[in-house]
Every structure is written in C-alpha cells, then in structure tokens.
Amino acid sequence: MPATRRLSLDTHSEVFDLLQDHANETFYDFSTVQARPNTVYVIGRQQLMDNMPRVREMCEDPAFTMVFNNSAEGSWTMETQLKSMGILEIVKDRRLLLICGAAVAPDVPCLVHEYFLPKILDFDETFEAQRHTPEIFLKRDKPYKFLFLNGRARPHRKYLYERLRHLDLLASSLYTMLDAKPCVWRSFALQEGDLNVLATPTPLVRLPDHYEVPRYRDPKFVNVLPDRSFLKQELFRMEWGEIYLYPPPYIDTYFSLVTETVCAESLVSFRTEKMAKPLAMGHPFIVASSVNFYRELRDLGFLTFDQLIDESFDQIDHAQTRVDRLLEVVHDLCQQDLGSFLDQCRPICIHNQQRLSELAQQQRQAFPLRFHEFISSHARY
C-alpha cells in the first residue's frame, strides 16, 4: 500500500494470506477497530453482516476506503447476496468496493481473485496425495469408470444423476449424493409421464469408508438414515471437508465428471475446489458448468482434452442442451478403451498439475500490486 494509506485487514477474509505482509493492522472483530482516516478496510462476509450499520456509515465518508472481500463466491451468488443485504446500490456508487471470485456486472467495481484453484495447494494433504498421481496411470483394471462427487443439491447435479441412472452409467461410477433435496429450476426439466423427476428427493450416498478421507470416516455414517436430507455438514463435521484430497478414488477411476457450482445461473465462469481437485491430482476431467468454462480454463494456461473427446458442448448457450451433449460424450467415452484414453491423457494431466503450482506462485506475487492498482483507481481521496 502507498505510504499515504493504511491497510486494515480482516483475518478471515480470503485475501488475508496474500496481503498480511502489507497490512498496518489486522482484526477478527471489526467492532473493536478504531476508524482511522486514510485507511483501506478489507472486511469479510461475516464481519460485514455483523457490523452492517457501521460499515454503511463508513462507506459514506470518503476518508475511508471500504472493501468487501468475498472471493469464495462467483458473480451470480455475489450479486444475489448484495441485493439480499441491501447494499447493491452503495457498491454501484463505488462507496463499497468488491473482491469477488468471478467478474460481476460492468457497473460494479470488482477485483477478481482466483481463490479456489490456488487454495488447494495450501494443504499438506494435497502434496501427500500428489505423490500417488503415477498410480492413476499405472492401474489399468479399475473398478469404476468415473468419479462423480456431489455435495449440495443443485439442478444440474440432480439432472445429471437422473440421466446417468437412466443410461445405466451411474452404477459404473464412484459417486456421492450428500443432499437429498429436490431441485426444480426453470433451466432444467425432466419428466417421466406425469412425474417431475427433478421435484423428487434423491437417495443419499456417501463414499465407502476406504475411499473417504480418513479424518471423515465415522461409524455413525455407515448406514445413512433415509430421512436425513443433508449429510454434507455432518459428514465433514462442519468443516470445509471437500478441499482435502485422498488418492484412492482417483486411482480407481479413469476420469472425473465434475459438477461445478454454477451451470445455468451465470454466463461467467466460476472455478471452485471441485475443479481444483482433478487439476491438483492429475486426473482427466469432464466438467458440467457454465458456457465457455473450458475456454476460460484454457485462458488460465490449463489444457483440456479436446484432442481426445468432443468438448464442443462448452460453447452451447442453453444449459440443458449443453449438459445433454456432455452426457453423450460421457456415454461414448465409457464405451471406449479407457486404459488407452488414460495413457493419452497423462501428459495433459501432468501439465495441469504443474500449471496449478505456477498459478499459485504467480498469484502470490502479483496480487498485492493488483490490489494496490484497484484501490488507487477507485479510492475517493
């Protein structure tokens, strides 16, 4: 930060690790922070909600630069949250700046922070898991064709689950469904006679113990109760358990069918830990996400498998049509020699592992300057 401005940084904000060396002070409770002129305050979502009246008041004073950091959310969720909290207008007026996980509307001042992809490399478990990547390619006779992990209920996940079941492909996958709630959304429709399939609950399925991260193995979850609608938080003990990598599910499958958070809700890609995991593990992938997700992934320097499979579904605007075409690709791939496919994927997967490490290093080096330039271009004093 320039000498004329101080930096006050929320310890729970997603950019804390990137900016802490540049901070004049840090805080975990914004209500205890003394308001000082010529200071940039970076505040996370919880502290914003807990201190909304004070933040609003400080947003009105040009002596302060207020920054809301919510890099764990993409554009659609961020805009929805801004509306629900009643602060969209002060954001558009540039009285409250944003750091977000994906680009938002052009009239919203936002610094995009690629949070999840580099974040997976912050855990020792990831590096231990990566030592086992060669085993993915050495094991040829695998018990499952693909890995299909689903946590919170979302329409495209429910749609994929039901279509895979109808295609007799679900039984060939190692999969989870940790949320039983129905998922009705205007972008997806699936009827069986008079039955709206998306309006039906989904049976809960967790990974068998020998595939689960050891810290989340618990005898009480061996037999899932049919009336428990949301298993994820209990299974992961209220932690962000999805971030940890455990090699066996990747070793025993030929590719990952990734269901990203956003599919139909936004035209802007948002990459989470769901995409980070196959990249970090060196696992081939097919991704159900927003239009042009693959293109934006390649713009970051990653490689996809367009020389081996038809990835043209990425360019289809209509969400259900895009997912239907993706399902055709999955079906066709499952009929092929997956061992040969895996051999051809190996150089791409190794490149992606290396690129992920490079991206993390580049972000750590570049983000403080990007942040300074963003603040300088929007500060009101």
Q: What is the pLDDT of residues 169-195, one digit of tens each?
A: 999 999 999 999 999 888 899 999 999
pLDDT at 230 over 90: no
pLDDT at 1 over 90: no
151: its two tokens: 């946590």
Handedness of CA 273, 249, 287, 177 (dihedral sign): negative
Distance CA 114, CA 270 (A): 9
pLDDT at 276 over 70: yes
Residue 6: its H or E element: strand 6-10
Distance CA 70, CA 50 (A): 15
What pLDDT, on the 0 to 100 scale, is given for residue 173?
Answer: 98
pLDDT at 3 over 90: no
What pLDDT, on the 0 to 100 scale, is given for residue 267?
Answer: 78
Nearest to 328 by CA among 339, 314, 313: 313
Task: Encode pLDDT of 284-294 as tens digits.
Answer: 999 999 999 99
Task: Encode pLDDT of 93-139 as tens digits.
Answer: 999 999 999 988 888 889 999 999 999 999 999 999 999 999 999 99
What pLDDT, on the 0 to 100 scale, is given for residue 223?
Answer: 55
Distance CA 333, CA 180 (A): 28
Helical H segments across 309-381, by residue range: 319-334, 338-378
pLDDT at 87 over 80: yes
- The DSSP bridge pattern shows strands 255-259 and 39-44 to be unpaired
Of 244 and 226, the structure prediction assigns the larger pLDDT to 244
Nearest to 294 by CA among 277, 315, 309, 308: 315
pLDDT at 227 over 80: no
What pLDDT, on the 0 to 100 scale, is given for residue 122?
Answer: 95
Q: How confident is the model at residue 224 (pLDDT cuts 50, 70, 90)?
A: low
What pLDDT, on the 0 to 100 scale, is given for residue 221?
Answer: 56
Q: Is 289 helix (H, G, I), strand (E, B) or coil?
A: coil
148: its two tokens: 């299909």
What pLDDT, on the 0 to 100 scale, is given for residue 60?
Answer: 95
Distance CA 137, CA 130 (A): 13
Q: How confident is the model at residue 55 (pLDDT cuts 50, 70, 90)?
A: very high
Strand order in the sheet with 173-175: 173-175, 146-148, 255-259, 285-288
Residues in the chain: 381
Residue 164: its H or E element: helix 155-166
Q: What does the DSSP assignment read for 53-89?
A: HHHHHHHT-TTEEEEEEETTS-HHHHHHHHHHTT-HH
Mean pLDDT in residue range 223-238: 73
Mean pLDDT computed over every residue of the chain: 93
The mean-pLDDT minimum among 51-60, 177-186, 260-269, 277-286 falls in: 260-269
The mean-pLDDT minimum among 224-228, 231-235, 238-242, 258-262 falls in: 224-228
Q: How confident is the model at residue 298 (pLDDT cuts 50, 70, 90)?
A: very high
Q: How confident is the model at residue 225 (pLDDT cuts 50, 70, 90)?
A: low
Distance CA 176, CA 170 (A): 10
What pLDDT, on the 0 to 100 scale, is given for residue 220?
Answer: 63
pTM, to two decimals: 0.94
What pLDDT, on the 0 to 100 scale, is given for residue 167?
Answer: 96
Confirm if 167 and 328 have CB atoms less than 8 A apart.
Answer: no
Q: How confident is the model at residue 265 (pLDDT cuts 50, 70, 90)?
A: confident
pLDDT at 214 over 60: yes
What pLDDT, on the 0 to 100 scale, is given for residue 233?
Answer: 82
pLDDT at 203 over 70: yes
Nearest to 279 by CA among 364, 351, 176: 351
Partners of 205 in beta bridges: 177
Handedness of CA 158, 299, 103, 40 (dihedral sign): positive
